[in-house]
Each structure stands twice: as C-alpha cells, then as structure tokens.
Amino acid sequence: MNPLDRYDYAILAALQADGTLSIAHLGEKIGLSSTPCWKRVRRLEEDGYIESRVAIVNRRKVGLPVTVFVSVRTSQHDDKWLASFAAAVTALPEVQEFHRMSGDVDYLLKVVTTDIEGYDRFYKKLIKVSQLTGVASAFSMEQIKVTTALPLELVAHGAPA
C-alpha cells in the first residue's frame, strides 16, 4: 500500500521539476501553507522518497560528451564475486549507472567519458577489476530523451487527499 496522497505526489513532481523551490513557493504551487508543506517535505526525505537534491550538470559543457553502454558477461555468479565486482565498478567515476540484468547480458553499465581515448582508458581499468568473459560497447550517437523525473502520474491517480 502506498501511503502518499495527492499533496505528496504534487510535492515530488514539483521538486523533480525544480529542486531549488523554496518551501513558500512550493506550498503556493501545490496549495498548502508553508508549515504543512515543510513537514511533508521533511517526512518525504526521512522516509526515503526524496533521496537527494542535486544540480544536473550539462555533461557536454564540462567536457564529457561521450556516452557508452557497456554490456558485461561473466561466468562468476557467487555473492563474494559480485560484492567484489560491484565495489570495483562503483568506484570507477565514469560509471553513471550499473545494473544487474536478466537475459544474455549479466551487467549493463552507462558510462560517460571525454572521447574514444577516454573510453579506452576506462575499458582497460574495467577489465582489470575482475575476470570477465565478455565486454561489448555501444556508443550513443544521439541522446533523444533524458529525464531524471519519474512518471508519478502512473501511480498518483486516485491518491487520497
């Protein structure tokens, strides 16, 4: 059961669009006074619905225009190996996302880097961290859609006020 009501969803949607909103502006936007709005935001943070508030940096402007999706295969599947591999991969700063997959690929990484040579340096670090049976790379040619906003409208319908 989801304990969120329409005000909570409205707060989450507004903060996804602009995490810099003051409590006063946020309250105005969703129809609550400052104190109840502040209490809800605090509860959403404490309960883990809001994990963090961050600035989204333009990767091209800072010199990281290349995105690579890296498929990793391994013959190792025990907990000890996974813990070691996960620690090593999460320590690589180029890795933006790291997923354990179903199907033919065991792990999928989303990597950002400077250029082809930057990716080659990353690749050499990756293959040193653990014994892998296959690594395949797919370079993104064009980013057509990117968002950090979750589609809250899929779950917010009918949320009690």
SS3 readout for 123-145: HHHHHHHCCCCEEEEEECCCCCC
User: Phi first, then psi: what are they for 139, rounded to 5°?
Assistant: -85, 130
**The residue to which tokens 């609550």 are assigned:** 32
Block means of pLDDT (10 residues each) for the chain, 161 residues, are 87 96 96 97 96 94 98 93 96 98 97 98 95 95 95 80 55
Output the pLDDT for position 131.
Answer: 86
